[in-house]
Amino acid sequence: MTIVISVPPSLDEHSFEQVIERLAAAPDGSKILLDARHARWASPYGLTALLCVPQARPEPIGFAVPEHPDTVSYWSRAGFFRHAAELYELHGTVPRAREAHESEVLLEITPIAKSDDVHGVVGRIQQKAADILHGQLNLDTAVTGAFGMTLSESCQNIVEHAGLGGWVAVQTYNYKQRLGRRVVQIAVCDAGVGFRTSLESSPGHRHKDRWDDAMALEDAVLRAVSRFRHGDAGRGQGLAGIRRFVGRWHGKLTVRSGTARLGIIPEWDEDVPMTERLPFFPGAQMQIIIPERSADAPARPRTAAAATRGRSRF
């Protein structure tokens, strides 16, 4: 019997949890079909996270292609089917691959497996990013270099910590649901070893009284703890730099790994800083959202350390 898992009509970092819950409940060895026929929209996070699903289970997984022509057209422009064809057993009609439409996609879904991939990604997006960030989102020109650094550090985490490749995508769109402004989103997802296992591989790692995926995320994101030895120049500081960038531009950062999800949450969003006891999903899935600049200066973002009452335990 085939277990059919419906892909939500609107797929983002929250609704993707429905897919993970159904996957976690499926017995080992089950035949699985992800049914995206009724999907209408997906964020970069949603599309890159979907590519991680086949790596999370050893058996082949089927994928039913969206039926709505606008949806399947956009997913094709974003490069989803080019990679999905190598990972899933596709069911349905897939359009021929086309170039990404620059007004929607800053960077189509791109595989990351080695440092050369990271350099190529940053080089390809730099000028387009500058035009979008300054021209459309009204951000200071100084943000462009920092954006490139943030993109580079996000991808480098895959190279250094995942244990296998992952995917990155960058898109701009109108964030009507929560903000009512345009945003740029970076999504970087892999199905590798995750933060907890990565930190445990450090020669100096010592188990604490409470050591789990949530603690590993707090160490990596909030305390810049790394699996690398002290003195390895530049190692372990990538997430700290990303966090500073997000805070400066009043953005949002979320990182999911294993059974926990940590967020740096701005005042314009109602998300919680920490969610624990989620269904297990391998690797790390990161999302960065930077909003269009407005006249009103938002307040300081909330973090998992500063807002424990926002902690959610499932």
pLDDT digits (tens, 9 = 90+) for 174-233: 887 667 889 999 999 999 999 999 888 876 667 667 899 999 999 989 987 865 444 344
Residues 141 and 88 in one domain: no
Query: Does 136 share its domain with 279?
Result: yes
**Residue 32 belongs to what H/E stretch?**
strand 31-35
Same domain, residue pair 219 and 273 = yes
CA–CA separation, 195 and 215 (whole Å): 10
> Model-level pTM?
0.89
CATH number of 258's domain: 3.30.565.10
User: Domain range spanning residue 38?
Assistant: 1-98
Average pLDDT over residues 131-136: 85
193 and 260 together in one domain: yes
Q: In 10 A of CB 140, how many CB atoms?
A: 12
- 80 shares its domain with 59: yes
Output the domain CATH number for residue 82. Answer: 3.30.750.24
**Residue 310 in this model has a pLDDT that exceeds 80:** no
pLDDT tens for residues 240-299? 889 999 999 999 999 999 999 999 999 999 999 999 999 999 999 999 999 998 765 444
Q: Are residues 198 and 146 in the same domain?
A: yes
Instruction: Write down which residue in 65, 98, 131 finishes a domain.
Output: 98
User: What pLDDT is recorded for position 63?
Assistant: 98
Residues 90 and 114 in one domain: no
Our CA angle for 186, 294, 12, nearest 5°, is: 30
Which of these three, 71, 98, 125, is where a domain ends? 98
Q: How many domains does the chain divide into?
A: 2
Distance CA(287)–CA(308), nearest Å, equals 21
User: Are residues 84 and 118 located together in one domain of the fold?
Assistant: no
Q: Are residues 113 and 78 located together in one domain of the fold? A: no
